[in-house]
C-alpha cells in the first residue's frame, strides 16, 4: 500500500502528514502561525515564510518518528506548489525536492485547491466522481464539477471577496480578532439574524457567481450605527452569507449535469451552520451531502498527501525543476468573470 509524505505551507499553517493509500493518516502535525500574525490582524507573507523555514523540518522529522518510518519507506513526497503566498510555497516545495532527491523518491507537486477538492475522498471511500464541489476558504470561493483527478470544470467563482475573507473581515469589524471565522460563528449563536437587515449580493442572478464585498460593507455600516448588538450583526452576516451560498449552489446544480453528491471543502466548510444549510439543499435535490471532518477542512497536510496518492495512482509525478505557482487555477480554461475587475 502506498505511503506519501504530504507538505503544506501555502499560507499560515506549516503542516506535514503521512498518508496511506488505505486512507489512513499515520501521523500529522500542523504548526499554526495564528499567534505570530495576530498582532497584525492578518497574515504577513514575509513573516509566514520565515516561520515555515523554522518549523517545517522539525515537524517532518516528528511525523516520520511517530510512524516509526524513514524516507526509505515512502512511495513519494507531495508538496503544495501553489497557489498561495510565494515565499511559503517555495519553502515547502524546495524542502520536498530536497527530500525526494535525497531518498530517490518521486516528487509530486500539488495544487493546494486540488488538495481541498479531493480531501472529501480521503475521509469517504464511497465518494465517486463526478461531484459538485463548493470550495470555500480564505482565498477562494468556487463551485466546481470535480470530474476526476486533475479534471475540474469551474461553474462559478467570486467577483470580489472569498467567503472566508468575508467572515474574517466582518469579524475584524466586530473586534473579534484574527482569524475571525470561527469566532464569528460562535458569536452568531447568541444573536438574532433577523434583528439586522443585510443585503444578499447576486441573489437570484443567472450565473452562479458569488459576491461578498457589499455584504461586508453593510456589516461595517450596521456596526457604525451603534444601534445593534454585535451578536445580532454576526448572526445576520452569517445568515446572509449562507443565503447567498445556498442560492448560488442551487443555481450551479441546475447546470452541473449528473453528479453523485454535493460536497463542501475548505476552511469555511468547518462552519456548522453552513454545513447544515448545504445538507438541507442536497436533500431537497435528492443528492448525497459530503463534508470532510473539521480537521480536514482548514489547511492541513493530510489532504496534500492524499492528493499525492491520487496522482501517484494515475502514474503522475513531477520533475525536480518544477517551479512554484503563486497563481494556479484548477480549471485553466475558465473565463475571467465579468465584473471581477480583471484587466484585459
Binding site for ligand KG4 (CB under 6 A): 11, 137-139, 164, 167-168, 179-182, 185, 266-268, 270-271, 298-299
Q: How many CB atoms lie within 10 A of CB 132?
A: 25
Supply the minimum distance, in Å, between the C-beta of residue 275 and ligand KG4: 9
Residue with cell 459530503: 290
Supply the minimum distance, in Å, between the C-beta of residue 278 and Zn ion: 18
Supply the minimum distance, in Å, between the C-beta of residue 107 and Zn ion: 21
Q: Return the number of the residue (137 or 239) whose C-beta is nearest Zn ion.
A: 137
Q: Strand pairing of 107-111 and 131-136? A: unpaired
Supply the minimum distance, in Å, between the C-beta of residue 321 and Zn ion: 26
Site for Zn ion in 76-135 (CB under 5 A): none
Q: Return the number of the residue (6 or 267) whose C-beta is nearest ligand KG4.
A: 267
Name the binder of 180 from ligand KG4, Zn ion, none, CB < 5-8 A by kind: ligand KG4
The reply on whether position 137 binds Zn ion by CB under 5 A is: yes
Q: Return the number of the residue (3 or 270) whose C-beta is nearest ligand KG4.
A: 270
Q: Return the number of the residue (132 or 136) whose C-beta is nearest ligand KG4.
A: 136
Residue least distant from ligand KG4 (Cβ) = 267
Q: Return the number of the residue (75 or 299) whose C-beta is nearest Zn ion.
A: 299
> Cα–Cα–Cα angle for 30, 136, 201, nearest 5°?
145
Site for Zn ion in 269-308 (CB under 5 A): 299
Contacting residues toward Zn ion, per CB under 5 A: 137, 299
Amino acid at each position: 500500500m502506498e505511503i506519501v509524505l504530504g507538505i503544506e505551507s501555502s499560507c499560515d499553517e506549516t503542516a506535514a502528514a503521512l498518508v496511506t493509500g488505505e486512507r489512513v493518516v499515520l501521523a500529522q502535525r500542523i504548526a499554526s502561525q495564528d499567534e505570530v500574525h495576530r498582532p497584525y490582524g492578518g497574515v504577513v507573507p514575509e513573516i509566514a515564510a520565515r516561520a515555515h523555514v523554522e518549523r517545517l523540518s522539525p515537524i517532518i522529522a516528528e511525523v516520520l518518528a511517530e510512524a516509526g518510518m524513514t524516507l526509505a519507506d515512502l512511495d513519494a513526497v507531495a508538496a503544495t506548489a501553489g497557489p498561495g503566498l510565494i515565499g511559503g510555497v517555495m519553502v515547502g516545495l524546495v524542502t520536498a525536492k530536497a527530500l525526494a532527491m535525497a531518498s530517490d523518491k518521486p516528487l509530486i507537486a500539488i495544487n493546494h485547491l486540488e488538495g481541498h477538492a479531493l480531501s472529501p475522498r480521503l475521509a469517504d471511500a464511497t465518494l465517486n466522481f463526478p461531484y459538485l464541489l463548493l470550495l470555500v476558504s480564505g482565498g477562494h470561493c468556487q463551485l466546481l464539477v470535480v470530474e476526476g483527478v486533475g479534471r475540474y470544470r469551474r461553474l462559478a467563482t467570486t467577483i470580489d471577496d472569498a467567503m472566508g475573507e468575508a467572515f474574517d473581515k466582518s469579524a475584524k469589524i466586530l473586534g473579534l480578532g484574527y482569524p475571525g471565522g470561527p469566532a464569528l460563528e460562535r458569536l452568531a449563536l447568541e444573536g438574532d439574524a433577523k434583528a439586522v437587515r443585510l443585503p444578499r449580493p447576486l441573489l437570484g442572478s443567472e450565473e452562479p457567481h458569488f459576491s461578498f464585498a457589499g455584504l461586508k460593507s453593510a456589516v461595517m455600516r450596521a456596526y457604525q450605527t451603534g444601534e445593534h448588538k454585535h451578536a445580532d450583526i454576526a448572526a445576520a452576516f452569517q445568515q446572509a452569507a449562507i443565503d447567498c451560498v445556498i442560492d448560488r449552489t442551487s443555481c450551479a446544480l441546475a447546470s452541473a449535469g449528473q453528479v453523485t453528491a454535493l460536497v463542501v471543502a475548505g476552511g469555511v466548510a468547518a462552519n456548522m451552520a453552513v454545513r447544515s444549510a448545504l445538507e438541507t439543499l442536497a436533500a431537497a435535490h435528492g443528492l448525497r451531502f459530503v463534508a470532510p471532518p473539521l480537521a480536514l477542512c482548514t489547511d492541513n497536510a493530510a489532504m496534500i498527501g492524499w492528493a499525492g496518492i491520487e496522482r501517484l495512482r494515475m502514474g503522475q509525478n513531477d520533475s525536480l525543476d518544477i517551479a512554484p505557482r503563486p497563481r494556479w487555477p484548477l480549471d485553466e480554461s475558465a473565463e475571467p468573470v465579468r465584473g471581477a475587475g480583471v484587466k484585459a
